[in-house]
Amino acid sequence: MNEPNPELEKFREKWREEVEAKLRPEISNVVIQSSSETGCLDSASLITLSNIGTPTSSQKLNQLEPHLENHSSSNYTEGDLIEQDPSLCPHTALEYYEQAVKRENEGNLGDSVDLYRKAFRMDDKVDREYKLKHFPPVGYYQADINEIISPDNKVVPKSNKHVIDGTSTKVQQLIASFADLSIEPETTTSGNKASFCPFSRLPDEIIIHILIFLADIDFAGFVRVAQVCKKMAFLVATEEQIWKKICLESKIGFREMYYEWSQNITDGPFCGLKSSTKSQNQEIDLLNQDKITEILLHKNYSSSWYEMFRLRPRIRYNGCYISKVNYLRPGEASLSQVSWNNPVHIVTYYRYLRFFRDGSVISLLTTNEPIDVVPFLTKDFLETSRNSRGSSQSPSKFMQNALRGRWHLAKYLDNKTGSKIGDFTGNEIISNNSFDQGNLFLETEGANEKYFYQMKLSLQSMPGKKSCKNNKLTWCYFRSINKLTNELGEFLLKAERPFYWSRVKKYGDGD
């Protein structure tokens, strides 16, 4: 029998310490895979190391040593140590795919490629199955294998079913624990009185009067009150007496509209025309304006003041109407260069209309953009620019081309009289049979004192249920009239575009 070699024993002891130190970070079972043709681990070639650091670890290392010596000639790496149940090996494509991912994370790319190939040979969609298992979408339910299907084809899950909804089990349990909870009110004591809203205890009659005053002062604020609570929203939307006050007595109501000429331009071309139109209107028995409103309320708006305010055409004073026009103009080729094509110019100009509460209007045609024009579209700047026509340094010099004018909406006639009214200079006849509330008539100064302009526009709304109502003016006709000869000339409207209303905060209520 050979005598023990102290150097060999020392080497073996050192080797055991290195192996034990190397295996200590492993938490669960560590197995060694033998190099077999099938790639599966035979139960005889697997040695399980568990409970590392216990007194039996040295004995298991003694059993491991001859097994390692038998395979010392093979090339093994750290990837050969895999964490799995010793009695199992990959059988399905998903298991092969999971092993391949694990090997890839460990850095063993060669083995991972082989496992990937085996997985995709078994199932070409195994990557989707892996993604659905480990990275499920929110709300996805993965049925348990042991779920029982009842005779009526209803799935009866077991108590330990696996529900994947993007949240952890602890979070689900926490959410479920709040299902039966209730919010209890604070207990009122003598020292701690429960707070309440005094406004909520007011009767509806008082709240309605408050809303009427608010609508008269600030209509936009009155509409925003509907966003406070359901009760306010109900009162704002359904209380007819509030909307009746708005339609008849507010600054934005229909009493502020004009349905016949009511303004004369000083030293303008309308002095003689206004008197003739006024005398013609006096011969016709017209209804009172409020009575006309009452008739239209029941006839066209289902007796709803709210619908009447929304849908009946009216002019807005807190802004201006702007029309942007683009057209192409052919250019001239350069005389010093040879060119096959002539240039084409895109010309852009704007039309502005601002209406006032006294029945007057300012009309302006210019190439200046709205950001430069809108602040100066007032009567004061109009008079200032006319008095300083020779000055070209004024920032509002484009107002020298502004035209004064007047306006009115189409008027409703009594059916009993059956009468007709001549519009403008008697060239157009309007009767109750062809009555259109959206018709808007304008007269403005002309290019010189011999002419004046007539325009007929139609008040319309932008398409869409949530769009603003009566914010669009479309052209009906545009013509000029010679005051001396009464000759009428029509302008082509092919290039003209509709006017769109834009609110201007600087104008306030339009006073």
Q: Is the pLDDT of residue 72 over 70?
A: no
Check residue 25 and give its pLDDT: 55
Q: Which of 88-102, 375-389, 479-493 has the lowest mean pLDDT?
A: 375-389
Q: What is the mean pLDDT of residues 380-401?
A: 74
Q: What is the pLDDT of residues 330-346, one digit of tens each?
A: 877 666 666 677 778 88
Q: Is the pLDDT of residue 384 over 50?
A: yes
Q: What is the pLDDT of residues 139-178, one digit of tens each?
A: 555 544 444 444 444 444 444 444 444 556 778 888 888 7
- Whether the CB-CB separation of 406 and 360 falls below 8 Å is answered with yes
3-state secondary structure of 264: coil
Q: Is the pLDDT of residue 60 over 70?
A: no
Alpha-carbon span 236 to 217, nearest angstrom: 15
Q: Which tokens hold the place of 417?
A: 């009289």
pLDDT band with cut points at 50, 70 and 90 for residue 478: very high
Residue predicted with more confidence, 46 or 446: 446
User: What is the DSSP code (8-state) at residue 145?
Assistant: T
Q: Which tokens hold the place of 383?
A: 């008079």
Check residue 282 and give its pLDDT: 38
3-state secondary structure of 415: coil
Alpha-carbon span 170 to 368, nearest angstrom: 66
Residue predicted with more confidence, 62 or 220: 220
Q: What is the mean pLDDT of residues 73-80?
A: 41
Alpha-carbon span 169 to 176, nearest angstrom: 10
Q: What is the pLDDT of residues 235-284, one digit of tens each?
A: 888 888 889 888 888 788 888 888 888 777 544 434 444 444 444 443 33
Q: Which tokens hold the place of 68?
A: 């390692």
Beta-bridge partner residues of 323: 351
Residue 68 burial class via C-beta count within 10 angstroms: exposed 0-12, middle 13-18, buried 19 and up: middle
Q: Compute and round to an integer the Cα radius of gyration of the chain.
A: 45
Check residue 351 and give its pLDDT: 93
Find the helix or strand (DSSP H, E) in which 482 lies: strand 472-482
Q: What is the pLDDT of residues 429-471, one digit of tens each?
A: 344 444 677 889 998 888 888 888 999 999 888 876 666 788 8
Residue 328 main-chain phi, psi, to 5 deg: -100, 135
Report how far apart, in Å, the C-alpha atoms of 124 and of each of 97, 120, 144, 370, 461 are.
11, 5, 24, 64, 59
Alpha-carbon span 290 to 297, nearest angstrom: 10
Q: pTM (2 decimals)? A: 0.56
Q: What is the pLDDT of residues 203-240, one digit of tens each?
A: 888 999 999 999 888 888 888 998 888 888 898 888 88
Alpha-carbon span 480 to 445, nearest angstrom: 10
Check residue 66 and give its pLDDT: 44
Alpha-carbon span 426 to 428, nearest angstrom: 6
